[in-house]
Amino acid sequence: MVNGFDGSMVDLLKNKFGFDEAFNYKEEQDLNAALQRYFPEGIDIYFENFGGKMLDAALLNMRLSGRIAVCGMISQYNLGQPEGVYYLANIILKRIRMEGFLVFYYYHLYPKYLEMVLPKIREGKIIDMEDKAEGLESGPAALTGLFVRCNVGKQVVVVADE
């Protein structure tokens, strides 16, 4: 499940990347009901990068022994008072494993990662997505576009073709 994207991104996630389901959380009045609708048997693995209400809804809809990988909580970063998370008891009741991580904890594994991932990229099993902006003058718009979800994949500003 991926949240936070418009209809075209939902289409990309489902039809190109093979996600089972995806939805735009901004179009949902009740996140718990949306998750129940899209995942009626519950969620096995949830990648948390949003926080707040979305995390609460995910906790309610996790399956027994589900796993949550926490990489960020973007909805909480610029709030004076972060939102509370109210359904933490589900971690106990459903034996959920929830673990945070940051990429720099795993830099030592980068050579092993390259050994594994480069053949998959060459075989077309992993697709590298880049959103290219041409010219230095497009840099500011490319940067601000990151914060309003205008890009897909890695944002690159091409200054020169050399």
Sign of the four-CA dihedral 22, 72, 103, 35: negative
Quick check: helix, strand or coil at residue 146?
helix
DSSP 8-state code for residue 29: S
Find the Cα–Cα–Cα–Cα dihedral 101, 107, 111, 114, rounded to 10°.
50
Would the pLDDT of 3 be above 50? no
Structure pTM?
A: 0.75
Residue with tokens 């489902």: 14
Find the Cα–Cα–Cα–Cα dihedral 130, 5, 54, 64, rounded to 10°.
-70
Domain range list for the chain: 7-109
Q: What is the pLDDT of residues 97-135, one digit of tens each?
A: 999 999 999 999 999 999 999 999 999 888 778 888 899
Give the CATH fold of the 7-109 domain.
Answer: Rossmann fold (3.40.50)
